[in-house]
Amino acid sequence: MLHFFIVFMLAVSVPPVVCSSAANGSSNLKEGQELSGGNRLISKNGKFALGFFTSGSSKSSSDNTTLPNWYVGIWFNKIPKFTPVWIANREKPITDPKFRLSKLRISRDGNLVILNHATKSIIWSSQIIAAKGRRTANKNTTIMAALSDDGNLVIRNALNPSIVWWQSFDHPTDVFLPGARIGRNKVTGQKYSLVSKKNLIDPAPGLYCTELDPTGDPQYFVRICNSSMVYFSTGEWVGWYFNLVPEMSGSNFLQTKFIDNDEEEYFTYAPMDPTVITIGLLDVSGLTKQLLWLEGLQEWETIYVQPRAPCDVFAVCGPFTVCNDNTLPLCNCMNGFSVKSPEDWELDDRRGGCMRNTPLEHCSSNKGNTRGLTDQFFPIHSVRLPYYAHRMETIESGQSCMQVYLRNCSCTAYSYGKSGCSMWQGQLINVKQYNNGTVNSDGEILFLRIAAGEVQSWGNNTKGNRRMIIGLIIGPFCLLVMLLMIWRGKRKWCSLPLSSTEGGCGVIAFKYVDLQHATKNFSEKLGVGGFGSVFKGILRDSTTIAVKMLDGARQGEKQFRAEVSTIGMIQHVNLVKLIGFCCEGDRRMLVYEHMANRSLDVHIFRGNGFMLDWSTRFRIAIGVAKGLSYLHESCRDCIIHCDIKPENILLDASLVPKIADFGMAKLMGRNFSRVLTTMRGTVGYLAPEWISGVAITQKVDVYSYGMVLLEMISGRRNSSPQECTSNSDHDVYFPVQAALKLLEGDVRTLVDQQLHGDINVEEVERACKAACWCIQDHDFDRPTMGDVVQVLEGLVELDMPRVPRLLQAISGSPSTN
């Protein structure tokens, strides 16, 4: 009845005159005008367009034919890759074969509507609160809809544009445009939140939402829509960034604001360079991303993503699946299950997950089952346990746990551990595969209920391969025994322990009280890094040490000792030597040799250090490259440093460079990625793949080394990207400037002016080429550190590297390719 009333009121409100079409390309839609078919509104700057477009299809209810879905939306007008940024009728596509009878117009009550003239029905309405009353109060009010230069569709008073009655920025879809808002209106209670798409082609509301904390705290949650299940939080706003997204604090790419006044509370942002095209996005898989348009590549580049691990998105793979961050595809069905809807799965809509291949037998309604078959529990090792467990702490053994739940037909899976017996009913969601044999906190294994007939079929399929499987098991086992024997032999060749408290091969296990005495109760602080504070100390034999007090290391003592022992076996002239460690209670400390000349940044950025001449800088650059090459290529396992910067390059009394903090990824575990985010972000030392969330390789160290090498050449920090506003090269982001000058054959102007031209031009050119080669956008275009050493030493001639396009795009420099 209500719907009929709305349609009737709209029908009688249609003026008796025929509406005119809006001028194609105009930025305004006035009363009496309408938009249809291929006509568009274009913002005055030409950046955005509004009109009808199609995406996906639907089945006709009358004859079961397939019809395209039509929408009214806003997209980038000049970008060839079609990118909708707002959609009006995402919940109700136009599927009528006579879709051209659908019009976008302003109704007599002041609403912007999509109207099907053939059926006189409203497909979508802006639903302006009290608009009709406002119109009645002033019948002479002229209303128009305008597409602004920032992509905001605004319904306003045509005679007084400052009076805005509705805007699309208050009703975002899955895209967060610069200038738009995420938050709430305190007066009306309206929320400005993002909602992901259903799948890659259907823009209907999906599973995930980004919204302001409903309790009123100044932070944002990414959650399952209409649920309390939050899987990512920004933390609270602390003045210029959110405290759980510290990379915002050092970014000069975006300007961010959090507004909190009597009427509204919201977060907004804008790029520093207004010519840069960037958008925020809550994608189908529940990841929040920041995308940057690269004109040279004609592609969107992901420069930020959270959560970093896709499997940390709640229920990203659907029920009865296992998610693995390190495999492709990301999601796989559990044993005994198959994808429920392959069509949806291909479009990244995995909400249906997987379904059983064989129905459960023990609990089936077929009481005449005479095969003697029953259900079984199949173990799934090294996984994060599903959500929504029911616990029974009174059961004292895993066998008893299994017997109890085998008789319980509602039990889908169970596990047994320190906290007792746990059972899951119904669907299993959010199961994540751990790698490298990692287990959950209680060491529990997930046991999945499977029909006996299903398990029996596995046995039939693998019987013929049994001999091969036995061979594959025995062969690696024998090899492992041989490696252990060799490794034990090597341990005997290690240097003798420095103390009776030895905890590894030549690594001392210090007592806390001894380090407290050596450092005079930790009174002389040498510095503070991402992993904790460093203090100077002196041992009884007069050896000077540096004690690093770790923040956030949470491994058990056994694991910590094992990792320290591994790191202690790594020896190279360009790596800081680990002398020992302390592991008492919650305290975790590392003891290193003391480096008399502190870190590289003190000297090249002219802090409290002394000037390094060019030959010393070049020698340091080669030494650091050799140290990294050793970590990547000569250790038993490749060690990725992940945090190469001048602060982590120390100099001994002879100015020999030594890399510090290698192996910290092993010691810090999951907390390590959080530490990395405290650095300067996409245009600092972090490689682009850190931001985009793809797999990390040793090439992230190569990128960071290239950035450090440029700083050693110039004697200053790599400046933030900014538009060149004068004729001075100093205004251009230095890595881009270096690449451009290298192409021009003018490297002298890049060198630190404090050196007064006292340089080896050939060495400077080699260093510039190596640096530009290291900071290429894609990891496969970068060299190995072994290659870098050969280039710097003049053993290999290097062609002119390309200007990195991502840095060039961010800095706003003109393309050279």
pLDDT of residue 470: 43
Q: Is 699 annotated as a binding residue?
A: no
pLDDT of residue 787: 92
678 found inside a domain: yes
482 found inside a domain: no
Residues 622 and 529 reside in one and the same domain: no
Residues 346 and 275 reside in one and the same domain: no
Strand-strand pairing, 337-339 and 354-356: antiparallel
pLDDT tens, position by position, 721-776: 433 333 444 445 678 878 888 878 888 888 998 898 899 999 999 999 999 999 89
642 found inside a domain: yes
Percent of the chain with pLDDT over 70: 77
31 found inside a domain: yes
State both tokens at 787. 């290659």
pLDDT of 672 over the 60 cut: no
476 found inside a domain: no
**Who wins on pLDDT, 438 or 276?**
276
User: Treating both helix axes as pointing N-terminal to C-terminal, what angle do 699-714 and 761-774 enclose, rounded to 10 degrees?
Assistant: 140
Residues 650 and 575 reside in one and the same domain: no
- The strand pairing partners of 35, in sequence order, are 104
Q: Centre a 10 Å sphere on the Cβ of residue 214 and count the other Cβ atoms it contains.
A: 10
- What is the DSSP track for 726-756? SS-GGGS-HHHHHHHHHHHT--GGGS-GGGT
DSSP 569: T
Residue 536 sits in a domain whose CATH number is: 3.30.200.20
Q: What are phi and psi of 777, to 5 degrees?
A: -60, -45
Average pLDDT, the chain: 80
Residue 247 sits in a domain whose CATH number is: 2.90.10
Contacts with 465 (C-beta within 8 Å, 6 or more apart), sequence order: none
> What are the Cα distances from residue 464, in Å, to 103, 189, 459, 461, 800?
66, 66, 9, 7, 57
pLDDT of 365 over the 50 cut: no
**Who wins on pLDDT, 299 or 111?**
111
Residue 754 sits in a domain whose CATH number is: 1.10.510.10
Q: Taking the chain, what is the end-to-end CA distance rounded to the nearest angstrom? A: 63
- Of 179, 89, 125, 105, the closest CA to residue 3 belongs to 125
Q: Which range (260-264, 355-359, 420-424, 622-626) has the least confidence?
A: 420-424
E strand segments, 96-253: 102-106, 112-116, 121-125, 143-147, 153-157, 164-167, 175-176, 182-185, 191-192, 194-197, 205-212, 220-224, 230-233
**Who wins on pLDDT, 426 or 368?**
426
Confidence of residue 463 (pLDDT cuts 50, 70, 90): very low
User: Rounded to 5, what percent of the chain is helix, strand, coil?
Assistant: 25, 25, 45
- Structural domain harbouring 347: 321-361+372-461
503 found inside a domain: no
Among the candidates 461, 488, 520, a domain finishes at 461
For residues 772-792, average pLDDT: 91
State both tokens at 550. 């770790």
Q: Are 196 and 274 in contact (CB under 8 A)?
A: no
466 found inside a domain: no
Confidence of residue 63 (pLDDT cuts 50, 70, 90): low
CA distance 496 to 502: 9
| C-alpha 370, offset from chain centre | 53
pLDDT of 680 over the 50 cut: no
State both tokens at 247. 């990379």
Residues 192 and 291 reside in one and the same domain: yes
- Element housing 619 (H / E): helix 614-629
pLDDT of residue 391: 74
For residues 13-28, average pLDDT: 57
Positions annotated as catalytic residues are 643
Buried b / exposed e over 515-530, threshold 16 CB at 10 Å, is: bbebbeebeeebeebb
Among the candidates 119, 140, 166, a domain finishes at 166
Amino acid at 793: E
CA distance 231 to 772: 38
315 found inside a domain: no
Torsion of CA 490, 493, 495, 496, to 10 degrees: 110
Residues 288 and 335 reside in one and the same domain: no
pLDDT of residue 101: 78
pLDDT of residue 721: 42
pLDDT of 2 over the 60 cut: no
Confidence of residue 586 (pLDDT cuts 50, 70, 90): confident
For residues 44-67, average pLDDT: 83
Q: Is 482 exposed, middle or buried (0-12, 13-18, 19+ CB in 10 A)?
A: exposed
For residues 614-629, average pLDDT: 95
pLDDT tens, position by position, 512-553: 999 999 999 998 888 877 678 899 999 887 888 999 988 766
pLDDT of residue 421: 85
Edge-to-edge strand ranges of the sheet holding 164-167 = 28-30, 143-147, 153-157, 164-167
pLDDT of 501 over the 50 cut: no
**Who wins on pLDDT, 620 or 725?**
620
Query: What pTM, to 2 d.p., does this model score?
Result: 0.60
Which 3-state string (H, E, C) describes 404-441? HHHCCCCEEEEEEECCEEEEEECCCCCCEECCCCCCCC
pLDDT tens, position by position, 328-359: 788 999 999 999 999 999 899 999 999 999 88
Farthest CA pair distance, the chain: 101
Residues 28 and 13 reside in one and the same domain: yes
For residues 639-649, average pLDDT: 88
Residues 650 and 750 reside in one and the same domain: yes
Q: Which range (337-341, 454-458, 664-668) has the least confidence?
A: 664-668
Residues 149 and 242 reside in one and the same domain: no
pLDDT of 464 over the 70 cut: no
Q: Which range (89-93, 146-150, 290-294, 618-622) has the least confidence?
A: 290-294
Residue 7 sits in a domain whose CATH number is: 2.90.10.10
Confidence of residue 389 (pLDDT cuts 50, 70, 90): confident
Residues 295 and 354 reside in one and the same domain: no
pLDDT of 457 over the 60 cut: yes
Residues 208 and 160 reside in one and the same domain: no
Residues 618 and 761 reside in one and the same domain: yes
For residues 147-153, average pLDDT: 97
* Number of domains the chain contains: 5
Among the candidates 145, 166, 187, a domain finishes at 166
Residues 583 and 630 reside in one and the same domain: no
DSSP 672: H
pLDDT of residue 265: 95
Contacts with 813 (C-beta within 8 Å, 6 or more apart), sequence order: 724, 732, 733, 736, 740
Q: Which of 158-172, 248-262, 685-699 has the highest mean pLDDT?
A: 158-172
Confidence of residue 666 (pLDDT cuts 50, 70, 90): low
Confidence of residue 436 (pLDDT cuts 50, 70, 90): low
- What is the DSSP track for 133-156? HHHHH-TT--EEEEE-TTS-EEEE
